[in-house]
Amino acid sequence: MKPNEVYVEIQLLSKHGFSLRRIAAEVGCAVNTVRRHLALEAVPKYERKVKRATKLAAHEGYLRERQTAARPNSIPASVLYCEIVERGYQGGLSQLRTFMRSLRPVLPVEPEVRFETAMGEQLQVDWVEFRKGVTPLHAFCATMGYSRASYVEFVSDMKVATLIGCHERAFVAFGGVPRKVLYDNMKTVVIERDMYGDGQHRYHAGFLDFAKHSGFIIKLCQPYRAKTKGKVERFNGYLRRSCFNGYLRRSFYVPLASRLGQSGLQLDVVTANVEVAHWLRQVANERVHGTTQEKPAARLATEAPYLQMLGAPWRGDIAAARPQAAKLEVPVPRPAIVVERIAQIAPAQHPLAVYEQLLMNVKQGVSA
C-alpha cells in the first residue's frame, strides 16, 4: 500500500471510532505508525532514502575543480556544459544549472533603465583590465548601440596610440564608422572635463585629431555614472551586481584563463586574440541577445549600411599634438586641419631687399 493510501485508510478508520490497535491490525502497521499518521495535517510526501545516481555524478568533481580554479569569478553553466559533453556527459543543461547553483551565491539583480539608439548612431567603448604587474593584460571592448555587435582586442597597454589602432580595426570589423562614440573619463580621450566651460572639455589632442579624421563625435558619459555606457559595460563585466561579472569576463576570459592555469600556463595577448576572434565569431555575436531577442551579427548586417564610410588610416603625430577644446559638434574635415597646421608652422618669408637693408644697418652700426 502506498503512503498516501495508508494515510487515507487510517484517517477513515479513526473517524469510524476504531481504536489505535484495531486500526493497526486492519492496516497492517505498527501502533506508533497509526499515531504518527493521525498527527499529520496532510498526506505525507514520499522521500527516497537512497538517492539515485545521476548522469552528472561522474562529472561533479571536475565541475568543482573548474569553479575553484576560476575563483573569485565563476564560469557559466552553458560553458561548462560544452566542456563536460566532450567528456561524455549525456544529461541535460537544467540538471547542470541546479548543481552549479549549489556552488556559487546568487547576487541580487539591480533594475536597469535601458535606452535604444538608431542604426549607425552610437558605439560604446571601454577598457577592461584583467591583469596588472609585469605582464599586464587589457582588452579594448566596443559594442554597437543598435545591433549589440561587439569587437574585442587584447593588448598589453592602454596608451593613446594603442587606443587609436584598436578603433581603426574595430571600424573595419563593423564595416564603417558610427556617428558618435561614447566613453567614460579615460585620460587617453579626455584630460579635463568642462575646462573651457560647461560641456567644453579638454580632450587629448592626438585622439581628438583622430576623431575628426575618422568623422565621429566624442561623447562622454555622466561622471561617476559608467552605467550610461550600459551596453558595453554589461558586455565586459563592469556592472558586477547586475550581471555577475559580465558576459566577456564570465563566458570567455574566466574559462580560458582557468583552463590554462590548470596546466601551469598564463594567458598572453597573442593567445587571447586568437581565441577571442573565434569566440566573437562563433559565440558572442551569434547568441540571441536578451534584450533584442535577435543575434547581434544579424542586426549588424542591417545596421552596417547606416555607418559612415571608412577613410584612410590616421597618420597623425601624437607626440607633437597639444591639448585643445572641442567646441563644435560636427567634426572638422582632416584636410582643413592639415592645411591650418602647415600655415602655423611655416616660417615667415620677406623680400631680399629687406634682408639687404638689415645687413647694411648692422655694418653701419659696427663702423660707428
Mean pLDDT of 82-106: 85
* pLDDT at residue 298 tops 90: yes
What does the pLDDT average to over 74-103?
88
Q: How confident is the model at residue 359 (pLDDT cuts 50, 70, 90)?
A: low
Give the pLDDT confidence score for residue 156 in this predicted structure.
95
322 pLDDT above the threshold of 80: no
Higher model confidence: residue 170 or residue 231?
A: 170
Q: Tell me the mean pLDDT in the region 263-275.
A: 94
Predicted pLDDT at 144: 92
Residue 84's pLDDT band, with cuts at 50, 70 and 90, is very high
User: Please, what is the average pLDDT of the chain?
Assistant: 78
Q: Is the pLDDT of residue 151 over 90?
A: yes
Query: According to the model, what pLDDT value does residue 50 have?
Result: 61
What pLDDT is recorded for position 16? 81
> Cβ neighbours of residue 363 under 8 Å, at least 6 residues apart?
none
**What is the reported pLDDT for 55?**
87
pLDDT category at 238 given cuts 50, 70, 90 is very low
Chain position carrying cell 576570459: 253
Confidence of residue 353 (pLDDT cuts 50, 70, 90): low
pLDDT for 25 beyond 90: no
Query: Helix axis angle, 3-15 relative to 20-27, nearest 10°?
Result: 140
Q: pLDDT tens, 306-320?
A: 999 988 888 877 665
Lowest mean pLDDT among 130-134, 137-141, 209-213, 358-362: 358-362
- In tens, the pLDDT along 128-146 reads 999 998 999 999 999 999 9
* Residue 115 pLDDT: 62
Q: What is the pLDDT at residue 266?
A: 92
- Give this prediction's pTM: 0.61
Confidence of residue 277 (pLDDT cuts 50, 70, 90): very high
Mean pLDDT for 32-46 is 77
